[in-house]
Structure 1
Amino acid sequence: MILITGGSGFIGSYLQAEIHARGGETVIVDWLGHEGKWRNLQRHAPSRVISPENLDAFLASDPDIKAVFHMGAISETTATDGDLVWQTNVTLSQKLWSWCAEKDISFIYASSAATYGAASTRSEFSDSLSNVDNLRPLNLYGWSKHVFDQWVVKQLQDGKKTPKQWAGLKFFNVYGPNEYHKGKMISVVKVKYDDILKGGPAKLFKSDTSAVADGQQARDFIWVGDVANVMLWLYENPHVSGLFNCGTGIARTYLDLAYAVCDSLGVSRAVEFIDMPAQLRGNYQNFTCADMRKIRDAGYEKEFTSLEDGINIYINKFLKGPMYI
């Protein structure tokens, strides 16, 4: 049995679908809430759904868990409740790490590219453990993920017992189905799709710096199916442990993305540039690009889906169809 925290969320439910398709049994730790998150599980129900407040009792019952995928987190980059973010993103992660170490099972967790802060060149996006203390996240969310990464490094340095296998994945800009409950944190792909369906042009933020032209802000956009492939490859290769970037290794501009959405919908490439919200100015990552050499060196060989192909799959297989995986 596999435990997935945040298993009714975006990445967690996609992973749940893939495990279910392979005949695996899962237990999800999450709140289904009132935003329709249950629909993320409607095609592949888990054996159990456990609310986070009941997790301690479940773990104390000594369940037969083979691995923990820890995807649950407060992931809003604009989050401001420091106490809640700490308890959710740091304390819970430490608790699960320690439980997996005690039980000698695999622990695969979600870190974030937000830990890289204002990094602006490819060389600065290094997932080397020796680089962790050099990072300066720009927001509370990124900092909380960074703190846990630092804690993991300290466990290793101090020779503390670790899970049988551990892997932290620094997710870059993930997009795909089952993200519809995320509100303002939904992917840019879905937002541009909605812009166009409303009859208008795709809207992009103007640049907040003279060094970057409007629309030329660039991110490493990764299809959620590729993220699931990386996680399942790690699970199937328990000898591999470490902190790894999880992107494509290619930075693409927001203009590239908007054009790809237009092309997939068969409409003209119309784009409108709008002012960046005040709260984002000066705290906006104008460039992200994963250095993927470390996980490649570890043996991961699958190719990553191009931005155009991923957007085409998302729109034509999901947004125009059943919506959910």
Structure 2
Amino acid sequence: MILVTGGAGFIGSNILAGLEARGFDDLVVVDRLRDGDKWRNIAKRALADIITPADLPAFLAAHQGEIAVIIHMGAISATTETDVDRIVANNVRLTLDLWSWCTRHGARFIYASSAATYGAGDEGFDDAFTPEALARLRPLNPYGWSKHMIDRRLCALVRSGAATPPQWAGLKFFNVYGPNEAHKGPMRSVVHQIHPFAREGKPFGLFKSYREGIPDGGQLRDFIWVDDVVDVVSWLVDTPTVSGLFNVGTGQARSFADLASAVYRALDQAPRLEYRDMPESLRPRYQYFTEARMDRLRQAGYPGSFTPLEEGVRRYVQDYLEKSDPFR
């Protein structure tokens, strides 16, 4: 059995689809569906069960010995969330509890970290798993801090020689885009936000730059197509000997202007970009550059390639957003 927390969310639901396509048939989702269309993210999956986070402790107790892998994608992922107690309960406490459960019961553990742990990027984007390297990072928001706290705590446990799950992997996701993200509202990718404007040939407003030397639309991110993320997770499931903390990006930063232009071109439209003021509350916490160093994942043996930005955007737009059923 493979249990995926946040399994009805964006990355979690895509991981489920990838696992099902590869023949896994004992898949369990842990998530809240509420009253929107989030359920559609998993409507095409053949699932063994769906449970709420509140029911997770009882489910774990009833199925110990059956669960081979926990893929922990569930989190408060909004970088704008200000209720830090809520973030701690969801992102810190649950992760540490699942780590302990997997350690006690011999289940493998793969969890979502984040590129938000790197903050402004002043210390670079090297996923070195040492107390010294991690201590230098300064996340810019509570979400990034919560993920960073977990990375540091697990590093301390591993370095101390404490017992661990038989396999464990933390994945520092960079800017992921792809299907099944509509429920994320303002936190969905810029591709999803631009699409309705681009299909009508209307201009879309990107944030202005507030840093000298960086033009409007020139802010850089490591954008990664969600299928590439699924491939990394699937490889880890297939390779139980690999443990560690790994970046999951492409290793190539591209501008928001490049990303936006790719959306228009995927629809055979000429790019029409405008620039709008960034909210003042966001300006001190805004990342102007992210680019994953991918050396450690490669050194661990990962053989896959990463999809070029224009190709990933084309697939997302033409194969999903332009379809009457855009869900994977």
TM-score by length of 2: 0.96
Deviation digits for residues 195-215 of structure 1 (CA, Å, limit 9, x no counterpart): 323542122110011231111
Does structure 1 residue 324 correspond to structure 2 residue 323? no
Deviation digits for residues 86-125 of structure 1 (CA, Å, limit 9, x no counterpart): 01000000000011111112100000000000115xx710
Aligned residue for 1:156, secondary structure, equals helix
Q: Which amino acid aligns with 2:21?
A: A
Aligned with residue 293 of structure 1, among 285, 292, 295: 295
Preserved CA contact (<8 Å) 1:195 1:203: no
Aligned residue for 1:282, secondary structure, equals helix
Q: Distance in 2 between matches of 1:153 and 1:39?
A: 37
Does structure 1 residue 163 correspond to structure 2 residue 158? no
Q: Distance in 1 between matches of 2:208 and 2:197?
A: 16
Preserved CA contact (<8 Å) 1:126 1:291: yes
Deviation digits for residues 9-45 of structure 1 (CA, Å, limit 9, x no counterpart): 0000001111112221101110111121110011113
The answer for the alignment partner of 1:60 in structure 2 is 61
Preserved CA contact (<8 Å) 2:5 2:12: yes
Q: Distance in 1 between matches of 2:124 and 2:271?
A: 33
Q: Distance in 1 between matches of 2:253 and 2:201?
A: 28
Q: Distance in 2 between matches of 1:198 and 1:30?
A: 35
Aligned residue for 2:285, secondary structure, equals coil
What runs of 5+ residues in structure 2 fail to find an aligned partner?
A: none
Q: Which amino acid aligns with 2:326?
A: M
Aligned with residue 200 of structure 1, among 192, 202, 207: 202
Alignment of 1:277-292 (within 5 A): 277-292=279-294
State the Cα distance separating 1:78 from its structure 2 match: 0.5
TM-score by length of 1: 0.97
Does structure 1 residue 154 correspond to structure 2 residue 123? no
Q: Distance in 1 between matches of 2:200 and 2:77?
A: 28
Preserved CA contact (<8 Å) 1:127 1:245: yes
Preserved CA contact (<8 Å) 2:169 2:244: yes
The answer for the alignment partner of 1:98 in structure 2 is 100
Deviant stretches of 4+, over 6 Å: none
The answer for the alignment partner of 1:262 in structure 2 is 264
State the Cα distance separating 1:230 from its structure 2 match: 0.2
The answer for the alignment partner of 1:310 in structure 2 is 312
Alignment of 1:220-299 (within 5 A): 220-299=222-301
Preserved CA contact (<8 Å) 2:199 2:267: no
State the Cα distance separating 1:186 from its structure 2 match: 0.3
The answer for the alignment partner of 1:4 in structure 2 is 4
The answer for the alignment partner of 2:33 in structure 1 is 32
Alignment of 1:14-93 (within 5 A): 14-24=14-24, 25-63=26-64, 64-93=66-95
Aligned residue for 2:176, secondary structure, equals strand
Q: Distance in 2 between matches of 1:313 and 1:229?
A: 16
State the Cα distance separating 1:301 from its structure 2 match: 1.3
